[in-house]
Amino acid sequence: MGTWVGVKKQIGNWYEIDTAGNSGFISKNDVSSDMGLKVFFIDVGQGDAILIEIGKIRILIDGGEDSSLKNYLTKSHFQYLLSKEKKLHFDYVIITHFDSDHYSGLTDIINDSRFTFGTIYHNGIARFTSDKKIRPKKYNTDLGETIKTGKIQYLKTSFDNLNTLGNLKSNHGLQNNFYSFVKALETAQSQGRLVDTLRLTNKVSFPIINIPNHKFKIEVLGPVLINNNFVWFKDSSKTRNGHSVVLKLIYDDVSILFCGDMNELSEQHLLNNYKGNTVIFESDVIKASHHGSPDFGIDFLNAVKPKAAVISSGDNESYSHPSADRLGCLGKYSVSIKPVIFATELARSINRSGKIQFGMINLRSNGKDIYLAQMKEVATDVNIWDSYLVNMNTGTTKAIKLIKAKKSIKTNKSSRKSKP
């Protein structure tokens, strides 16, 4: 579902087609002009990078830490378009929070003139140097100034637009990675390749995206600010992770919740804010928060009632993501009889020649059902996907077989009408 094909000719009930990878035949019933919803949970190791394609709109949620996302976009997903010297436009980029494993991989992409951007959204919490002598005196933390009202501590410093960082940039009061990122934004904007950088909170509506014949909506459920301040969650790390941008994507009858790196304290903060309306969190698929860390609560999972879960995590890190108890609870608190949990780390493998096969998790939906799949470690000629159908009515999942288009006897590499 969701793969572009170029129809070369019709033979009875079959089309002879071209795709990015193969030529072959496909039944007429399996071809539609409606591309549906496509979500790619890209394997960037320890980190998040999610590409969403709906109609002609491209949305990125986070960009990982290293060059993995850029490699995937330029050498795989959009390689065909780039080889035709086309610019790659992303309508929206959402950075859930400014931890390196969510945005540092974007710096190189934003600096690359082959890419153009609409709006880059963020949660408004900037990163300052830990050197107290360099950052402004009133900034008592590396996230800025905190204040106490009664017993509650708040982070007061935040930015609606990263252009307003002003003097802090020239004074190098910013943390190094964040400084490089802000410079990249400045360059892209001066070159006319970026429209704006704005803050997303639960008080801001995501732009309306019109998809013909479908209901499509992105709701912003977090971060939740109190009088324009952020609640301080114990320490700097818990505060910046906890106030991740939290998004619920709705496409007709199906929904997906993207949780950034939320933790148990911030889950409770959100549940309190939506008291009496926690049904708002109910979603068919959850992108589990914080790479499946053990810092999560049962109340939030009970509110989400997921049918399936996706975890984005990497090997060779010191955190043991995903944690054994998170995996157990994602299954236990799912409303499916046979819950499915996908993880980029579990999908990644090394083939017989010692080459890494990256563990991308694929989601496709027609607005009624959701298909989740990862590539098999060893593919047979006709079946390369390990796939599951998330049934909206029963909440159960079952394995389905996706059959690769049969190769035509004679492939004519004429002009390709399709896009990968």
Rounded to whole angstroms, the Cα distance separating 272 from 388 reads: 34
**Cβ closer to Zn ion: 265 or 392?**
265
- The Cα 413–Cα 415 span in angstroms is 7
Give the residue with the Cβ less far from Zn ion, 292 or 339. 292
d(CA 293, CA 330): 12
Nearer to Zn ion, 103 or 230 (CB): 103
Three-state SS string over 123-189 comes to: CCCCCECCCCCCCCCCCCECCECEEEECCEEEECCCCCCHHHHCHHHHCCCECHHHHHHHHHHHHHH
Residues 261-320 interacting with Zn ion (rule: CB under 5 A): 261
Size of the site for Zn ion (CB under 5 A): 2
Considering beta carbons, is residue 46 or 334 the nearer one to Zn ion?
Answer: 46
Site string for Zn ion, 94-133 (x = CB under 5 A): -------x--------------------------------
> Considering the complex, what minimum distance in angstroms separates the CB of residue 99 from Zn ion?
5
Q: How far is the CB of 238 from Zn ion (least distance, A)?
A: 12
CB of 284 to Zn ion, least distance (A): 23
Letters for 246-265 (x = contact with Zn ion by CB under 5 A, - = none) are ---------------x----
Nearer to Zn ion, 91 or 99 (CB): 99
Please identify, using beta-carbon distances, which residue of 105 and 395 lies nearer to Zn ion: 105
Instruction: Tell me how far, at minimum, the Cβ of 47 lies from Zn ion, in Å.
Output: 6
DSSP 338-366: S-EEEEHHHH-EE-TTS-EE---EEEEE-
Q: Give residue for tokens 């499916």.
A: 336
Pairing between β-strand 37-41 and β-strand 361-365 as defined by DSSP bridges: antiparallel
CA–CA distances in Å: residue 355 to residues 72, 197, 351, 376? 16, 38, 5, 14
Return the H-helix or E-strand segment holding 218.
strand 216-222
Strand order in the sheet with 14-18: 6-11, 14-18, 23-27, 406-407
Q: Please identify, using beta-carbon distances, which residue of 240 and 307 lies nearer to Zn ion.
A: 240
The least CB distance from residue 101 to Zn ion, in Å, is: 4
Least Å distance between CB 38 and Zn ion? 23
* 284/295 with CB nearer Zn ion: 295
In the bound complex, what is the minimum distance in angstroms from residue 52's beta carbon to Zn ion?
Answer: 19
43 vs 101, beta carbon nearer Zn ion: 101
Distances (CA, A) of 419 to 38, 56, 76, 278: 14, 12, 12, 40
Integer Cα distance of 25 and 299 in angstroms:
49
Q: Does 66 bind Zn ion (CB under 5 A)?
A: no
Q: How far apart are the C-alpha atoms of 394 and 392, rounded to whole Å?
A: 6
CA distance 20 to 417: 10
Q: Which is nearer to Zn ion, 142 or 253 (CB)?
A: 142
Cβ 257 vs Cβ 305: under 8 Å: no
* Nearest distance, CB of residue 102 and Zn ion, angstroms: 5
Distance, in Å, from the CA atom of 85 to the CA atom of 205, rounded to the nearest integer, reads 35
303 CB-side CA count, 13 A? 19
Contacting positions for Zn ion (CB under 5 A) = 101, 261
